Chains A and B, each alone.
Chain A
Amino acid sequence: MSRLLRWGRPALIVAVLAFGAVFPLVYTNALTTTYAIDTLIFVGGVVAWNMFSGYSGYISLGHAVFFGAGAYTVGLLALHHKVLGSTAFWLLPLGGIAGAVIAVPFGLIALRARRHTFVVITIAVFFIFQLMAFNLAFTYGNGGVSTPFASWDPATYNNPYYYAALVIAVGAIALSWLIRGSRFGLQLLAIRDDEDRARGLGVRAMRVKLAAFVLSAFVTGVVGGLWVLFIGQALPETAFNPAYDLSVALMGFLGGFGTLWGPVLGALILEPLQQEITQRYTSGYAGEIVLGGLFLLVILFLPRGLLPTGQEWVTKLGAWRDRRGRPRRDSGTAAPGPAVAGAGAGAAAGAAERPGAGGAR
């Protein structure tokens, strides 16, 4: 069982990556690849969100600010400098920088507040930015920004976007993994559990939170930049979209808030579902109604998310099998003692493997 776990994980990752790499070659249908790109964009978005909100416990409903900033930055640069085709992908880091630059003052203000107050401030800042996109001269108001059309072969038009989205999604996951196992990540998790206690142990909370916020904003900006290149147009209401924040939060909670893979799972389930619903029921609200209903169900029945709950079941099943298989030792409560302790090795690195890692507050 443990050997299966040890090799199963890397093997699974390699398999998924390989599948991701060949996907557009197997499924050449433009509609399918469009779904796939949208999904990968959301994988990047939710992983970026989670590396701040999931790890620190500060739930941001304002990440669309960074998404929109990235989208407008990349869109405007591509438009004004006539950046075409795959060259435009080199603009994406600038989208990220736009997000990161905004995140500094945004974070310095918002991160002074905690919990509900923080959430409300992020929403308020979001609406300020949407309003600015509507009203500022350089964003072209209601009409938004349209990017130049790439003159790619229609048959494989989606493929460059697909691979760019895949690279960004994988990069975001890698970054999230790095944070998760690092000292920095541990400080974030400590802040999530008890910020004041963490401060009393030498954690410079504001600095740590701000760093995570800015990193998360950078990745979100990159994702927004790719989105505008793919869609070809950024409007104030689509680039600064409240539904983006709700989707990302829902994906995070569904899959497993604060875990490494939970949010990925959430995006893989929800985004295709949402696309399918929108496609099938053309009335625009169907998707949102389903989304809202699902949110309630998740909060009610899976407050910790799919991944942590699933792992808990597996653990319980294992314990149940152990108990049946083996003659019972006294009282059976013997803690997973020194063996685990000695192997404190990987206690930090394997943080994501812990069943309780996700949990809602």
Chain B
Amino acid sequence: MTALLQVAGVGKAFGGVQALSECALEVEQGSIAGLIGPNGSGKTTLFNVITGYERVDEGEVYLNGSKITNLPPDKVFMLGIGRTFQLTRVFSRLTVMENMFVAAHHKERPAGRARIRNPFARAGGPVTRRRAMELLEFTGIAGHAGALAETLSYGQRKLLELSYVLMAEPEIVLLDEPAGGINPTLITTITGRIRELNRQGTTFLIVEHNMDFVMGLCDRVTVLDYGNAVVTGPPEVIRSDRRVLDAYLGTAEGDDDGSAA
């Protein structure tokens, strides 16, 4: 069985800094995968490489077995990979509803018939509008649909980002620190929504520093250290894996060397 998303031997350097090296990762269809690692271990770079924001130096990325390496972000999105950003990014001077429409535009194409699209078609047809409203109700911000996105709180923006990524019905959603900087109640809400979506068939890959969040939600967790996936396993195994502790706290030998010097 091939994985839904596969990263194989990916390397990426910024100048002299090797952000990713020989990085390999597989996410199974229908799972919730976690990605953890200390700051600077390459988690966000890996996201950027998968979603086309950075080009890889070496290695390949596959979705459903077909190569998507170095495709531009818009193509990657249309192929079924949605992502959120660590610092939420919404279109602040558009309304919440319009934010949803941005993500929806390619879904509105008249299917089948080879008809030239009207370039000035109004944004947001009835189908799109209904779907957008459903999603906003699902994430609980439907009451703000007409408000400018800049008026939303940080947590609400995170929910909006999750909502519009879902507009295109992605196969897999990459979440970059979904629990970062928001209150515990909202974290519970987000956890619930992710579980619900996962039940409906959406696969997730989640970067997060909140260990309770990761360990409670994910089926499998991968630990990244110096741009390399050092270990993958179920949360309970990861929790006690020595290499994980090493990655976060530094190796014992390293400490010895340090004190000896």
Contact = CB atoms under 8 A, between A and B. Distances in A.
Nearest to B148: A356
A79 B254 CA distance: 83
Given A200-B53, A203-B105, A348 B124 contact: yes
A201 B168 CA distance: 8
Contacts of A205: 74
A187 interface: yes
A186 B94 contact: yes
B123 A202 contact: no
B22 interface: no
Interface in B79-133: 83, 85, 89-95, 97-98, 101-103, 105-106, 108, 119-124, 129, 132-133
Contacts of B150: 356
Interface in A188-205: 189-190, 192-194, 196-205
Contacts of B121: 182-183
A348 B94 CA distance: 9
A347 B98 contact: yes
A22 interface: no
A5 interface: no
A316 B120 CA distance: 33
A197 B85 contact: yes
A350 B99 CA distance: 14
A182 B102 contact: no
Contacts of A179: 120
Contact of A344 (B77, B145, B151, B167): B145
Interface in A335-350: 335-338, 340-341, 343-344, 347-349
Nearest to B122: A181
Contacts of B77: 200-202
> Which of A181, A182, A184, A344 has the most chain B CB atoms inside 10 A of its CB?
A344
Contacts of A336: 146-147
Contacts of B245: none
A359 B93 contact: yes
B143 interface: yes
Contacts, number: 137
A106 B53 CA distance: 25
A96 interface: no
B226 interface: no
Contacts of A11: none
A15 interface: no
Interface in A302-351: 335-338, 340-341, 343-344, 347-349, 351
A203 B123 CA distance: 13
A178 B120 contact: yes
Contact of B120 (A184, A204, A344): A184
Contact of B106 (A178, A189, A202, A337): A202
B91 A189 contact: yes
Given A202-B74, A202-B78, A348-B101, A356 B165 contact: no
A296 B92 CA distance: 26
Given A181-B123, A359-B93, A341 B74 contact: no
A214 to B, nearest CB: 12
B98 A348 contact: yes
Contacts of A178: 120
B164 interface: yes
A190 B142 contact: no
Contacts of B144: 335, 337, 341
A115 interface: no
B51 interface: yes
A347 B146 contact: yes
A30 interface: no
A182 B125 CA distance: 11
A356 B93 CA distance: 7
Contacts of A344: 95, 97, 124, 129, 132-133, 145-146
Interface of A: 178-179, 181-187, 189-190, 192-194, 196-205, 211, 335-338, 340-341, 343-344, 347-349, 351, 354, 356-357, 359
11 contacts: A186-B98, A189-B93, A193-B94, A200-B76, A335-B147, A338-B142, A344-B129, A344-B132, A347-B146, A349-B122, A351-B95
Interface of B: 51, 53, 72-74, 76-78, 83, 85, 89-95, 97-98, 101-103, 105-106, 108, 119-124, 129, 132-133, 136, 142-148, 150-151, 164-165, 167-168
Given A182-B121, A344-B146, 20 more contacts: A181-B122, A182-B119, A182-B120, A182-B123, A186-B105, A190-B102, A197-B85, A197-B91, A201-B167, A202-B77, A335-B151, A337-B144, A341-B146, A344-B145, A347-B97, A347-B146, A348-B97, A354-B95, A356-B148, A357-B93
Listed from nearest, the 10 A-B pairs whose CB atoms lie closest are A340-B146, A341-B145, A193-B91, A201-B103, A199-B73, A197-B89, A337-B143, A348-B123, A347-B97, A186-B123
